[in-house]
Structure 1
Amino acid sequence: MAPVSVELILMNPRYAVEPGVRMISAGSTSTASEESLKIARAWLDECSFNHMKCSVNTNVVMDSGFGVGGLAGEFTWKPRHLLDVSIKGPRGAPGVKLMDGMFLDPLSEYVTLSHVWGRQKGVRLHKGTLAALRQGVAASSLPKTFAEAAMVTLNLGFRYLWIDALCIMHDSEKDAVAEISMMDRIYSEAVLNIAATGATDDTVGLIAERNVMALQPCVVSVQGLGIEDGVYKCLRSTVWQDLIDSSPLVKRAWVLQERALAKRTLHFTRNELLWECQQTCCSEVFPKGLPATMKAGGVRDGDVFDKRVHHQRHGNWASLVKQYSRGRLTYSGDKLPALGGLARQYMHKNRLRSSDYVCGMWKGMLPQGLLWKVDGGIRPKKWRAPSWAWTSIEGEVGFSDLRQVGQDICLEMVEFLVTTKGEDPFGQVESARLKVRGFMARGLLRRTHDYWGAGRCVIDCTSGQLELETVCFDERLPKLSAMGKHGLAEQVEVYLLPIADWIDRVEGLLLCSNLKKGEFRRLGVFQVRRHHGSDWKQFMDLIKGDPRMANFEERFDHTAAHGQQLTSDYTYLINLV
């Protein structure tokens, strides 16, 4: 049996309030018991009235076409569609009815739902179901998670519920794009976000039956163990990691922005309710707040929208991207839309413009932001972003140091040519091209492993042989043009494009030529350190286009044939796609 991590809490009168361990009654065998919902209401009241960070509307009011802007925007704006969960269906059974948000009471509040869709297609809003949903349907006809979310919404004292499956027209691309572009408002202006955190799909349900004894603290007497002797309560200290961070819901990419944008989220896990807002995290066992050693990190670990000091240059966005890139998507094309709400909020909070955003990055991050790395990435079959953008690949992404101090920048951003599929600048991309000016060297890259992957590689140049200390490919088996006898490339022509020249190293992109002249695709990143001695000077001379290097005329003729423009300072003007 694997060891269990526990938190020891001394039973002492001075801890009567904090950490505030609570014994759950034996009759509370469901996460929707009256006892559990009473705690949830108390959390909501405390957060709404006493939490400064959570009680104000954190979203910037924009002209949406619905409601009115200005100071009253928090109370007047509504999503286009909402579900009224207060109606009665046939024979008085609970029902739901699709409503037009524009015509609802401007002071009414609504709740949102975060959930895992699953593979089975249940009820969705489309032209064929629109009339029935507007007339009202029995809650029991909906997937179990939706029906139980409607019941909980009503029991918490609210009338309206927003569920993406039932409030977005799924057979209308125009409607879907419009609603997705409003995700930041939909979640940030909701009074509460309910999360089906413990459910693997919509058929499982929101509410869980539980063994109350498994939640109770174990009381032990401790003597002579190097800590203060006394009677302790033993509790698992990894509750948040086990029930939230490892849950099926959090592995879904869309959910990161849903949690980050919502003022407060009530998690229905597999055995207890947990609370998450911008000021605190609670559980049914710790209703006054989790101890510091048990608190969550990640999405609530500081404000991802706050500006940082200048030398960190979008370090908080890089951290957010790392979290987001771990998530899974049902549809590959959602990579940018599922991040759009966060990007829009980040833009407003940091006083940026939509034109500063390019394919999941901010221009202020560049060119250092091009040095992202991914371990064992997979590029989807269908194009969704340019190779130089991290959004082009599946896998956990990490960024190189984004600070400006301590490095010389070797690459100039000349022009961004990005076309989106619709009007939303944070949505899907139709095409993208980045024109840059910098030094560049050509060579043959040979494998030193049985596979193309991270590790040391040798590059043969016209003036000799250089060893690159680290080459990190975006894909484990990148699509290279030169093929060996075993089907894998034994060597391939590559181009080195340095970006950051540090005191001890140079970092840059590893490129290959595209089918079109003057265009290059990213294969990965490289790093060369100064401790290589004479190799270092040779490398720097090669990179910086020293005319004394051998076969320079041959090098110029070759690059010109590939459509690159060589300037008087031995830099090249190329297009990255």
Structure 2
Amino acid sequence: MLLTTTMTASPTTKYGYTNSPEHFEQARKWLTMCREDHKLCNGIGNTQLELPTRLLYVSGGKDWKPGTQPEIIKLVQTNQTKSCLEYLAFSHCWGPPSEMQFRLLARNIDSCCEGIDFSLLSQNMQDAITATLSLGFSYIWIDSLCIIQRDDAEDADHEVSRKDWVAEAKKMGSVYAGAVCTVASTGSSSSSGGCFHERSRANLEPCKIGVSSSTALSPGWIYARSDDVFDFERNVDLAPLNSRGWVMQERLLSRRVLHFGAGAMYWECGGRSASELNPHGYTYKRYPEDFKDNYSPEMSGYINTRADVARAEREGRGFTWASEEMRRRRPPPVMIDPDAAPGSQAVWRHKRGFWKNILKIDEASWADDDGDMRDGDRAGFRAAFERLRGDKHSVEAAAGEDATQVVGRDSFSQVWYDVVEPYSRGKLTAPADKLIALKGIEDEVARATRFTYLWGVWKERLLTDLLWFAIEGPGRRLLDEHGVPVAPTWSWASIEGAVALDLLPENSRRDIERKETLVTIADVDSETDSPQKATVDINGPLLSISAPAYDGIAWHIEIGQTGYASARVFPDVVTPDICQMAGLACLSFFVLDREKNDIAIRSPREDIQGLVLRLVARGRGNGTVQDVYERVGYFTTSYVARSHDSRKARQTLKNAEVKTLRLTGWSGL
């Protein structure tokens, strides 16, 4: 077989760098369409907006060109400006301290108000200012130039910078929500990387591939192009910038984000995502069947006649090189099977990532996007966030919920963890920032629902919120610089590692039903600001168990005298003595009815989920002080053999003695 390739001309990709006039023309089109047509994006959710304390004012002057010194760059105090000015925000990776060439300090704040030399700024900052002027704006907020930074050369200024940081960090959500658009240096991992990059022509332009062989009557042709479905995930979601924990908040609270990726420019807002390859945009979809009329992904097939080739060229078509099977495959279970071989686990992660972040090319008008992001059929963490700050999950709505609304696809806890899971994968330089970097999102959800926030979970949904688990293996306990935990051990924020919730059906079109709730919350200490003192009193069936066993792939426990693994255990962290740990018990929370993902097996499947706890202190005999336990992990009876013995194990869990216990924030053991 002989393959020949020809690159076709493409008017949208013939420009080498992402700072061309044509790029900014496209960016202005996206911005204009969003501002004119997207009611959701033009609102600000529940955020109480106030101008940032400081902004950068930039003016190019009469003969300014991109990349050259603007006429004016200076810091302004917004209390001395008009209150309705429009500004951009900037999201970027700082990289190592050595690359931060210039930043705002207590000792240079006066000079910054007089003027800033463009040449002193990092490449990221220079490009952000170029983008600001090219988009037609005069103000931009850049964290390192608008918040006083720590000055290692002046010990006396440390307290000044600390107080300024504390004050400004509380406003971070308002800063990004109030910006007209956030410019993001998405493809760069440091301040020297810059926003603008040269692109590979081969990655962007449709490629005509000729195929011939000795048995073919005539040569065949196919068109191939970079896979559109994976493009946004690969070059935005998984880009260097979005590996930072702080960026999740910046990205979600921003009404619009203009991403400068390593290979292309992208748009993201509450109604749509778009790219240079598909400037009209994508929408997030949840189900495989939503893709039946979509041309990405699809098997392009062979174009066997010259007429076919000519027609394809006239239409400007580019086909993705992807299998039809990819479109038909069903979403995998939410939780990985620990007994699966490593290769199967890798396939699970790939499939799950695909369906959680799936994008569909959308040819409809942007005006049709109004309010769609809160539709239950929209996927992705941005859609989840919009649903959380809608009115469906308010205190009043929660009062009338039935059993099917507490768990399942659209339950508050599942939607909340659709935001928490990607955030938990992000990296933070300071462990103490684990919850601080989420505060803007927390404030938004709290205003919408009037729920009470407790260390990363919600008091009104505590039973379901406590059932998080380490989805990709045990994490590491997060301690601050003083050796103190950053969150109670019953909170997902207490560990470093990816976390998730398993209250979803195994099939995307069906739901999961709560058959029985086995526990109640007796009391919660919601006033303390100390993770060690944050306690939860719970009443429920508590069953003593032996230490979990590890078979090289998964952790399991035996329930009763079944003689086999009755439940899977997902430890939060692994300690050297976990296999010999004494005083362990299972506290069962819910009995759930699941439906299998396999279309041929439709019978419900009962599952019990709960927590694995360790006894750390005995209560008094008079009952005034309960036994004190600490969370060790999460268990589920799913993924075990369906037999009489498994049913017996579940019955043993349900019939265990009901006790009231205290879940401690941290035992220190």
Does TM-score exceed 0.5, indicating one fold? Answer: yes
Aligned residue for 1:268? 260
Whether the aligned pair in 1 keeps the contact of 2:256 and 2:270 (CA below 8 Å) is yes
1:468 is aligned, of 555, 558, 566, to 566
Q: Distance in 1 between matches of 2:220 and 2:649?
A: 68
Aligned residue for 1:283? 275
SS at match of 2:268: strand
Amino acid at match of 1:471: V
Whether the aligned pair in 2 keeps the contact of 1:329 and 1:335 (CA below 8 Å) is yes
Whether the aligned pair in 1 keeps the contact of 2:610 and 2:634 (CA below 8 Å) is yes
Query: Structure 2: where are the runs of 5+ without partners?
Result: 1-7, 151-160, 213-218, 284-293, 298-358, 361-378, 394-400, 505-510, 594-605, 620-626
Q: Using a 3 Å threshold, how does the CA distance of structure 1 residues 242 and 573 change in structure 2: closer, same or farther? A: closer
1:281: Cα distance to partner? Answer: 2.0
Whether the aligned pair in 2 keeps the contact of 1:94 and 1:139 (CA below 8 Å) is no
Describe the superposition over 1:295-326 as per-residue Cα deviations: whole angstroms up to 9, x where unpaired: 37633446343355851431321211112112
Amino acid at match of 2:466: L
Q: Distance in 2 between matches of 1:92 and 1:325?
A: 40
Mean alpha-carbon deviation: is it higher for 398-407 or for 99-108? 398-407
Whether the aligned pair in 1 keeps the contact of 2:546 and 2:557 (CA below 8 Å) is no
Aligned residue for 2:597? none
Q: Using a 3 Å threshold, how does the CA distance of structure 1 residues 231 and 185 change in structure 2: closer, same or farther? A: farther
Q: Does 1:313 align with 2:422?
A: no
Aligned residue for 2:3? none
Whether the aligned pair in 1 keeps the contact of 2:566 and 2:646 (CA below 8 Å) is no
Whether the aligned pair in 1 keeps the contact of 2:13 and 2:205 (CA below 8 Å) is no
Q: Does 1:133 align with 2:112?
A: yes
Amino acid at match of 1:247: A
1:57: Cα distance to partner? Answer: 2.3
Amino acid at match of 2:556: R
Query: Structure 1: where are the runs of 5+ without partners?
Result: 1-10, 12-20, 63-72, 224-228, 422-427, 481-487, 547-569
Whether the aligned pair in 2 keeps the contact of 1:446 and 1:492 (CA below 8 Å) is no
Q: Does 1:576 align with 2:664?
A: yes
Equivalent residues in 2 for 1:494-513 (5 A)? 494-502=584-592, 504-513=606-615
Q: Distance in 1 between matches of 2:33 and 2:72?
A: 30
Q: Distance in 2 between matches of 1:244 and 1:326?
A: 15
Aligned residue for 1:31? 18
1:347 is aligned, of 427, 446, 454, to 446
Aligned residue for 2:469? 373
Normalising by structure 1, we get a TM-score of 0.76
Aligned residue for 1:52? 39
Q: Distance in 2 between matches of 1:448 and 1:212?
A: 50
1:525: Cα distance to partner? Answer: 1.4
Whether the aligned pair in 2 keeps the contact of 1:409 and 1:499 (CA below 8 Å) is yes
Whether the aligned pair in 2 keeps the contact of 1:457 and 1:468 (CA below 8 Å) is yes
1:201: Cα distance to partner? Answer: 0.8
Q: Using a 3 Å threshold, how does the CA distance of structure 1 residues 448 and 192 change in structure 2: closer, same or farther? A: closer
2:514 is aligned, of 399, 406, 409, to 406
Describe the superposition over 1:406-435 as per-residue Cα deviations: whole angstroms up to 9, x where unpaired: 3322221122224565xxxxxx96852212
1:45: Cα distance to partner? Answer: 1.5
Q: Distance in 1 between matches of 2:438 and 2:618?
A: 31
Q: Distance in 1 between matches of 2:381 and 2:144?
A: 24
1:478 is aligned, of 571, 575, 583, to 575
Q: Distance in 2 between matches of 1:179 and 1:521?
A: 35
Whether the aligned pair in 1 keeps the contact of 2:589 and 2:608 (CA below 8 Å) is yes
Aligned residue for 1:4? none
1:139: Cα distance to partner? Answer: 1.9
Q: Distance in 2 between matches of 1:545 and 1:429?
A: 30
Amino acid at match of 1:520: Y
Whether the aligned pair in 1 keeps the contact of 2:57 and 2:76 (CA below 8 Å) is yes
SS at match of 2:128: helix
Q: Using a 3 Å threshold, how does the CA distance of structure 1 residues 415 and 128 change in structure 2: closer, same or farther? A: farther
1:51: Cα distance to partner? Answer: 2.6
Q: Does 1:97 align with 2:187?
A: no
Q: Using a 3 Å threshold, how does the CA distance of structure 1 residues 420 and 446 change in structure 2: closer, same or farther? A: closer
Aligned residue for 1:6? none
RMSD: 3.5
Whether the aligned pair in 2 keeps the contact of 1:87 and 1:97 (CA below 8 Å) is no
Amino acid at match of 1:318: Y
Q: Distance in 1 between matches of 2:655 and 2:118?
A: 68
Aligned residue for 2:224? 234
Normalising by structure 2, we get a TM-score of 0.66
1:512: Cα distance to partner? Answer: 1.1
1:141: Cα distance to partner? Answer: 0.7
Aligned residue for 2:350? none
SS at match of 2:82: coil
1:331: Cα distance to partner? Answer: 1.4
Equivalent residues in 2 for 1:146-545 (5 A)? 146-171=125-150, 172-212=161-201, 214-219=203-208, 233-237=223-227, 238-290=230-282, 293=296, 295=359, 298-301=380-383, 303-305=386-388, 306-307=390-391, 310=401, 311=405, 312-314=410-412, 315-349=414-448, 351-353=449-451, 356-374=452-470, 375-376=472-473, 377-382=475-480, 383-401=485-503, 405-419=513-527, 431-445=533-547, 447-449=549-551, 454-458=554-558, 467-475=565-573, 477-478=574-575, 480=577, 489-502=579-592, 504-514=606-616, 518-528=627-637, 533=644, 540=651, 544-545=655-656
SS at match of 2:225: strand
Q: Distance in 1 between matches of 2:380 and 2:47?
A: 26
Q: Distance in 1 between matches of 2:548 and 2:186?
A: 47
Aligned residue for 2:58? 85
Whether the aligned pair in 2 keeps the contact of 1:419 and 1:429 (CA below 8 Å) is no
The sequence identity of aligned pairs, in percent, is 28
Between the two proteins, the alignment pairs up a number of residues equal to 494
Whether the aligned pair in 1 keeps the contact of 2:548 and 2:569 (CA below 8 Å) is no
